[in-house]
């Protein structure tokens, strides 16, 4: 600013030193005004110069001042017109190497050890039924004692459940029964069972003679099941054989991929005639099944009772049968063994009026249960069948005694599966 003012004063002096051309109107004014302006500028300029020097900050030396003109800044940036442009350098990192996990430091007084967890959870659905077949609710966890191969187990989970069911209605329907009595009993039983279904239930229906026939896959449509029952017409069966073992084996195979608890309601006379699978193979299949309970409703009991009392049993079996009465009795025992293994029940109605009561009992039993789970003390994964026993005990460990409002002792029955097959190491 000071240099600019000085320069302007010099230029003004140069102009004033030239010969003046004074007109008549301003001859007396031009020269005194110029001299006055010069005097003012010479007085103001030094003060403005001092003030500008006071306002300017004291320059501080920068690292760039000590560097060559074209040298890059210490921060790694390029050199600009007003100094280096600071761009942070990236630190050169050494490539990472895969490091093995460090061994934990040993604690004095403790030995080094390794741990492997191989524990399985066993779930058991338990039904506690009164003399009339009704479910007894409200029992506490402390009342239940579970043993596996006679070894007491610690119950880790306990609850009373009431839930929709997933079940297969497996119905024997063949042409080998006289007077169509067995067929009619199968149709009646299937119809009554269909009437007890609820809208949340998942039900499938399969009939069998020589082979199994899927009449309706899993559905929640009650009308579809009733339609499948209606398709069973007396005298319209395709074969005279009753391969109950094959049908049961095949149904268990189909259910193994279904999640959760499943049920098979098997309606049959119990007599197997031509199955590829033997009783032993079928029992092993039942033992190895998971979360499947089987309930059996026997058919033809009214006709069998009449034939036994009137000496007509020989007409109910082929001529090759040595003892027809023993054949049906053996069939009942086989069905009872199957139901016991899975925690189901065996029914043998004689009158039609019993069917509604039976299926109401089945529905109440499978919808209301106590769900018990435990980790077995035997953690070996060797694959054998392990027996389970569920008991009700009091505080002293003796069998629990329950009484009704009148103080009369209540007789009860515990329904639970007979055991399970342990996992194999390769499973």
Bigger pLDDT: 98 vs 292: 292
Token pair in block for residue 321: 């049968």
Instruction: Please state, for a pLDDT cut of 90, what percent of the chain lies above it.
Output: 40
pLDDT score for 219: 95
Query: Taking all residues of the chain, what is their mean pLDDT, rounded to a whole number?
Result: 79
Looking at residues 99-117, what average pLDDT do you find?
Answer: 53
User: What tens digit of pLDDT does each residue of 140-194 get?
Assistant: 999 999 999 999 999 999 999 888 899 999 999 987 655 577 889 999 999 999 9
Q: Is residue 327 predicted with pLDDT exceeding 50?
A: yes
Q: State the pLDDT at residue 23.
A: 43
Q: What is the pLDDT of residues 17-28, one digit of tens each?
A: 444 444 444 444
Separation CA 49–CA 153 (nearest Å): 102
Q: Where does the pLDDT of residue 80 fall: very low under 50, low under 70, confident under 90, or very high at 90 and above?
A: low
What's residue 372's pLDDT?
95
Residue 15 lies in a domain: no
Inter-residue contact 20 to 31 (CB < 8 Å): yes
Establish if 59 belongs to a structural domain: no
Give me the mean pLDDT over the 326-331 stretch: 91
Whether 298 has a pLDDT exceeding 60, the answer reads: yes
Residue 194, Cβ density class (10 Å: 0-12 exposed, 13-18 middle, ≥19 buried): buried
In a domain, 237, yes or no: yes
Tokens of 325: 């009465």
Within-domain flag for 151:
yes
Q: What is the pLDDT of residue 415?
A: 86
Which range, 62-76, 101-115, 168-182, 241-255, has the best average confidence (pLDDT)? 241-255
pLDDT average, residue stretch 101-116? 53
- Note whether residue 426 is domain-resident: no
Q: Is residue 263, in this structure, part of any structural domain at all?
A: yes
- Which residue range forms the structural domain that includes residue 335? 122-421
* pLDDT above 60 (res 300): yes
Q: Is 220 helix (H, G, I), strand (E, B) or coil?
A: coil
pLDDT score of 103: 55
Name which of 186-190, 242-246, 276-280, 288-292 the model is least confident about.
Answer: 288-292
Q: Which residues contact 35 (CB under 8 A, 6 or more apart)?
A: 16
Residue 329 has pLDDT above 60, yes or no: yes
Does some domain include residue 37?
no
Comparison of pLDDT for 189 and 36, the residue scoring more = 189
How far apart, in whole angstroms, are the C-alpha atoms of residue 348 and residue 336? 11
pLDDT-derived band at 399 (thresholds 50, 70, 90) equals: very high
Q: Is the pLDDT of residue 343 over 80?
A: yes
Residue 43 falls inside a structural domain: no
What percent of the chain has pLDDT above 70?
70
Range in 39-53, 281-295, 345-359, 362-376 the model is least confident about:
39-53
| Region of poorest pLDDT, from 67-71, 121-125, 285-289, 342-346 | 67-71
| Residue 77, phi then psi, degrees to nearest 5 | -95, 170
Please count the structural domains in the chain.
1
Q: What is the largest CA-CA distance in the chain?
A: 169
Q: Which has the higher per-residue pLDDT, 115 or 106?
A: 106
pTM (predicted TM-score): 0.64
Question: Is the per-residue pLDDT at 31 higher than 50?
Answer: no
Q: Is the pLDDT of residue 134 over 60?
A: yes
> Regarding predicted confidence, which is higher, 180 or 324?
324
For residue 250, pLDDT over 90 is answered with yes
Q: What's the pLDDT at 334? A: 95
| CATH code of residue 336 | 3.40.50.410
- Listed residue (166, 155, 195, 364) closest to 263, CA to CA: 166
pLDDT at 93: 57
Strand partners, 169: 205, 265
Helix (H, G, I), strand (E, B) or coil at 249: helix
């Amino acid at each position: 600013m000071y240099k600019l003012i000085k320069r302007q004063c010099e230029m003004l002096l140069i102009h004033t030193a030239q010969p003046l051309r004074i007109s008549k109107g301003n001859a007396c004014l031009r020269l005194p005004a110029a001299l006055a302006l010069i005097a003012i500028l010479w007085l103001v300029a030094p003060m403005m110069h001092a003030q500008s020097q006071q306002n300017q900050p004291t320059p501080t030396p920068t690292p760039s001042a000590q560097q060559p003109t074209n040298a890059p800044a210490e921060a790694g940036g390029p050199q600009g017109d007003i100094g280096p442009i600071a761009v942070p350098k990236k630190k050169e990192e050494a490539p990472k190497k895969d490091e093995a996990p460090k061994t934990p430091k040993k604690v004095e007084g403790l030995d080094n050890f390794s741990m492997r967890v191989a524990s399985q959870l066993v779930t058991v659905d338990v039904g506690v039924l009164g003399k009339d077949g009704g479910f007894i609710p409200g029992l506490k966890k402390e009342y239940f004692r579970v043993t596996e191969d006679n070894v007491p187990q610690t119950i880790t989970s306990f609850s009373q459940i009431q839930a929709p069911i997933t079940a297969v209605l497996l119905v024997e329907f063949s042409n080998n029964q006289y007077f169509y009595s067995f067929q009619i009993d199968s149709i009646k039983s299937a119809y009554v069972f269909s009437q007890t279904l609820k809208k949340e239930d998942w039900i499938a229906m399969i009939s069998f003679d020589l082979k199994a026939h899927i009449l309706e896959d899993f559905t929640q449509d009650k009308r579809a099941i009733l339609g499948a029952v209606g398709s069973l017409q007396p005298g319209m069966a395709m074969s005279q054989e009753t391969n109950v073992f094959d049908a049961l084996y095949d149904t268990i195979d189909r259910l193994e991929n279904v999640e959760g608890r499943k049920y098979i309601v098997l309606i049959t006379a119990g007599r197997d005639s031509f199955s590829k699978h033997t009783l032993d193979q079928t029992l092993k299949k039942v033992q190895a099944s998971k979360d499947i309970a089987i309930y059996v409703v026997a058919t033809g009991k009214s006709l069998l009772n009449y034939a036994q009392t009137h000496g007509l049993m020989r007409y109910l079996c082929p001529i090759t049968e040595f003892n027809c009465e023993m054949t049906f009795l053996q069939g009942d025992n086989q069905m009872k063994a199957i139901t016991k293994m899975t925690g189901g029940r065996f029914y043998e109605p004689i009158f039609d009026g019993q069917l509604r009561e039976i299926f109401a009992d089945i529905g109440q039993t499978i919808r209301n249960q106590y769900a018990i789970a435990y980790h077995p003390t035997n953690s070996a994964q060797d694959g054998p069948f392990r027996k389970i026993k569920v008991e009700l005990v009091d505080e002293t460990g003796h069998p629990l005694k329950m009484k009704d409002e009148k103080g009369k002792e209540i007789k009860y029955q515990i329904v639970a599966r007979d055991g399970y097959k342990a996992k194999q190491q390769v499973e």
